[in-house]
């Protein structure tokens, strides 16, 4: 598998390779903030949506 700048694997249609720059803890979640180091656009696949309690391709 190919990798990007930070070692992120390239196995999806679009990959954002980020370095975490900060994190904030909220009542129920931890929010991560990142700096984008590289972007990879792979082959275009069918779009996927969630509708009527199920996933569907467009």
pLDDT in the model for residue 11: 78
Give which of 20, 1, 11 is closest to 40, Cα–Cα. 11
Backbone φ, ψ for residue 45 (5° rounding): -105, 175
Give which of 5, 13, 1 is closest to 34, Cα–Cα. 5
Q: Locate the domains of the chain by residue range.
A: 14-57
pLDDT in the model for residue 17: 93
CA 17 → CA 7, 9, 10, distances in Å?
8, 9, 9
pLDDT in the model for residue 48: 86
Q: Which two tokens stand for residue 52?
A: 């009527």
pLDDT in the model for residue 26: 95
| Parts of the chain with a pLDDT under 70 | none
Alpha-carbon span 37 to 5, nearest angstrom: 7
pLDDT in the model for residue 4: 87
């Amino acid at each position: 598998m190919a990798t990007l700048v930070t070692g992120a694997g390239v196995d999806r249609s679009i990959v954002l390779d980020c370095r975490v720059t900060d994190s904030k803890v909220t009542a129920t979640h931890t929010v991560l903030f990142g700096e984008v180091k590289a972007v990879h656009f792979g082959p275009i696949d069918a779009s996927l949506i969630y509708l009527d309690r199920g996933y569907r391709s467009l």
